[in-house]
Amino acid sequence: MGEVIRPKRTAATMGSILAAWTGICIVVGAYGSMSLPIGGYVSGFWPAMALQAIGGIWFGMWGVIVAFLFPIISDAIGEAIPMYVAATLIPANFFQAWTVAWVFRRFKLNPELKTRKDWLAWILVGCILQNAIGATLGTTAFVLWGLFTWEAQPLFWAGWFIGNTWPAIVFGSLILKIATPFVKRTRVYVFPDWW
Amino acid sequence: MTTQQVVTRYRTFFSYVDATSLANKVSPITKIFILLFFNAYPIIIDNPIYNAMFGFLNIILMKIFKATLMHVEKYFKVLMTLALFIFVSVIFFGRSVAGPTPTVIATIGPVEVYSQALGFGVMVYVRMFALVSAMLLWLSITTTSDLMSAFEKLKISYVARTYLTMAFRFIGMFDSDFNTIQDAQKARGLDIKSQPLWRRPFVFGYYLIPLVAITIKKAIDAGTTMEARAFKAPLKIKLLEEKKGFKQSYVGKYYWRYSGKDTVIIALLVIVFVGLIIARIYGLVANPFM
């Protein structure tokens, strides 16, 4: 008793969540980037990061795919990063969603953030570590594109890292805590599976 | 009594276009080329003057294509805020973008202002304007059926192109939902625009959480509707259409259009692209302010 039985996942529902999550991430990514840019290309406030990380936890690989697809469009609208440059940010955006999704699955943590272990993993990996990886890969791609110099990289790295980390801590924690009990009753909730 | 003229309009990803618009005569595949070229232009060009001209050209094209500007105006208004942030950044943190031999043009207390940093700020800001206006133009003149039929010609599989076009369609929907949430919060006494700039990111959560709930509900509804209409596919997505058993879809048949004018436009885009690459190699499009 007490076992939650969910209807079988289908391509229609998972495809819809893939499309809808991409849509919301583009809108939130564009609005966020526009509200606090750090000298262009990097935003000091990127709330889409919260959705990127949560998407990986809730929707598994569907969320991870969204995480690296949506910035190709939202970066063009919100941060003036052409699609070609945004495509080279795929590794950065991949790790910004996959890392915490893997940790939550590997260590059987609860996305509702019920224990201290859940919170620690979310804050240390979901908010800090994966953004540090993302900021390093992303700003390196910018330097290789010639958008700014190696000397300017630490400034942009800090902009990326801070701009992603604090919305993840504030909004990501809030959404995970409030919305996970609701989302886990739906067909689109993939955790603890990957697909 | 006055007679009112009824004008048929098509819903695009971000806006509406008149049925009589030239945008509806352009081939969907030409629109894909426009997207690719318009994304390449601002990154090839460093000269802010050329990028500014390109940005204004996009706005003129929006007018020519009779796209409703009402839906995209807010993005242009935000560009004013962007200018403030970019110039504050390059004034206070300008040293790292000013190059090895910077020229000090002013001193504000302990902060030295470099001409190269300001030049960088101008370049970034105008590039931003050019690219944002290009993307808004494309999103304002492209419909779901345009993208669907173009992807079909490019042999993208039915499942992949359905998800991709749905994602584009959801942008406009969530953009409207975001505005609805803003109005609803305003009715409850929360207006993000009346908040000081530093507080705006903190109140963003009041918009984000309802938007997440709406997104999941809409995704589940859309999935159920697709199932009701017999949409069936394996969970593993194939990106390209398999050659055997390929059938032209209704959208691909009735929404596809292509004429000699499209060949001319595509050829022009390719020639200009090659020309710009050559100009960049010879330093003809460099930023004169750095």
Whether residues A19 and B163 touch (CB distance < 8 A) is answered with: yes
pLDDT confidence of A35, banded at 50, 70, 90? low
When scoring A8, A13, A24, A79 by the number of chain B Cβ atoms within 10 A, the one with the most, hence best to mutate, is A24
A window 110-169, beta carbon within 8 A of B: 145, 148-149, 151-152, 154-155, 167
Could you tell me if A181 lies within 8 Å of chain B, comparing CB atoms? Answer: no
Q: Which residues pair with B67 in a beta bridge?
A: B17
pLDDT given for residue A34 in this prediction: 61
pLDDT confidence of A74, banded at 50, 70, 90? confident
The SS3 assignment for A183 reads helix
CA distances from residue B222 to A8, A14, A15, B112, B168 in whole angstroms, order as listed: 16, 10, 9, 56, 14
pLDDT given for residue A78 in this prediction: 66
pLDDT (tens digit, 9 = 90+) per residue, A101-112? Answer: 999 999 999 999
pLDDT (tens digit, 9 = 90+) per residue, A78-102? Answer: 666 788 888 999 999 999 999 999 9
pLDDT given for residue A118 in this prediction: 96
Could you tell me if A36 lies within 8 Å of chain B, comparing CB atoms? Answer: yes
pLDDT given for residue A90 in this prediction: 93
Residue of A nearest to B203 (CA): A171
* Integer Rg of chain A from CA: 16
pLDDT confidence of A42, banded at 50, 70, 90? low
- Where do we find the tokens 């990986």? A56
Q: Is the pLDDT of residue B287 over 60?
A: yes
- Where do we find the tokens 């805020």? B81
Query: Is residue B165 within 8 Å of B147, Cβ to Cβ?
Result: yes
Could you tell me if B206 lies within 8 Å of chain A, comparing CB atoms? Answer: no
The 10 Å Cβ neighbour count of residue B255 is 18
Q: What is the ipTM of this complex?
A: 0.87
pLDDT (tens digit, 9 = 90+) per residue, A155-176? Answer: 889 888 988 898 899 899 999 9
A window 75-104, beta carbon within 8 A of B: 76-77, 79-85
Sign, CA torsion A75/B133/B274/B153: positive
Checking DSSP bridges between strand B111-114 and strand B104-108, what pairing results, if any? Answer: antiparallel
And the tokens for A155? 């400034």
pLDDT given for residue A59 in this prediction: 94
Q: Which region, left, alpha or beta, applies to residue A121 given φ > 0 means left and ψ of -120 to 50 means alpha? A: alpha
Work out the minimum CA distance from A121 to partner chain B, whole angstroms: 22
Checking DSSP bridges between strand A37-38 and strand A42-43, what pairing results, if any? Answer: antiparallel
pLDDT given for residue B81 in this prediction: 63
Residue of B nearest to A163 (CA): B201
d(CA A16, CA A14): 5
DSSP B220-276: HHHHHHHHHTT----SSPPSB--STT----HHHHHS----HHHHHHHHHHHHHHHHH
d(CA B41, CA B51): 8
pLDDT (tens digit, 9 = 90+) per residue, B91-101? Answer: 877 777 777 78
What distance lies between CA A64 and its chain's CA centroid?
A: 8
Work out the minimum CA distance from B24 to partner chain A, whole angstroms: 23
CA distances from residue B258 to A130, B24, B148 in whole angstroms, order as listed: 46, 11, 15
Work out the minimum CA distance from A177 to partner chain B, whole angstroms: 11
Mean pLDDT value of segment B175-181: 88
Query: Is residue A14 within 8 Å of B222, Cβ to Cβ?
Result: no
The SS3 assignment for B73 reads helix
Residue of B nearest to A150 (CA): B96
Query: Is residue B72 within 8 Å of B172, Cβ to Cβ?
Result: no
Of the candidates A19, A47, A174, which has its C-beta nearest B167's C-beta? A19
pLDDT given for residue A117 in this prediction: 96
- C-alpha closest to that of B87 among B53, B50, B49, B113: B113
pLDDT given for residue B97 in this prediction: 75
d(CA A73, CA A83): 7
pTM for this model (two decimals):
0.84
d(CA B67, CA B141): 7
CA distances from residue B166 to A59, A98, B228, B231 in whole angstroms, order as listed: 18, 24, 17, 14
Of the candidates A15, A22, A40, which has its C-beta nearest B124's C-beta? A40
Q: Which residues pair with B104 in a beta bridge?
A: B114
